[in-house]
Amino acid sequence: MPARRPPHPLEHHPSFRAVIAAAPPLAELVFRLRKRPEATSLVGTLALACGDLADGFAAPPCSRKRLTAHHRAWIAVREIDRAVTAAARGRLAPPDVVKRAQRAIDRADVLVGALLPS
């Protein structure tokens, strides 16, 4: 049995966990869309969102840097959401694959968006 790794310091943030959890369903969707040029950038956009979340959490609470970084992360998640919606509308991937990716991105969208002021 492999040894359990200690939790990463960012894993206690629900928004960060949601973005990480979106990676497998998004990767499966990207695999199904691999012949489309925009598909490969989706995983990179998700990685950038993770980096922006980390940057924001490293900044002091309520600081401009935190707000800006979390806003960038939210914009990236919204960009992915639009691409997943387009894949669903265009029937570019099996419906179950799109549904899993959409559910994961919707959850990330809500939790990252909750980091921003109203």
Task: Give the model confidence (pLDDT) of 47-81 as tens digits.
Answer: 999 999 999 999 999 999 999 999 999 999 999 99
Closest CA to 8 of 68, 70, 53, 75: 53
Query: ∠ CA(2), CA(8), CA(19), 5° rounding?
Result: 105
| pTM score | 0.88
d(CA 33, CA 19): 20
Question: What confidence score (pLDDT) does residue 61 get?
Answer: 93
- Residue 1 confidence (pLDDT): 65
Q: Which of 97, 74, 91, 81 is nearest to 42 (CA)?
A: 81
Task: Give the model confidence (pLDDT) of 70-113 as tens digits.
Answer: 999 999 999 999 999 999 999 999 999 999 999 999 999 999 99
- Summarised one tens digit per residue, pLDDT across range 10-54 is 777 899 999 999 999 999 999 999 888 778 799 999 999 999 999
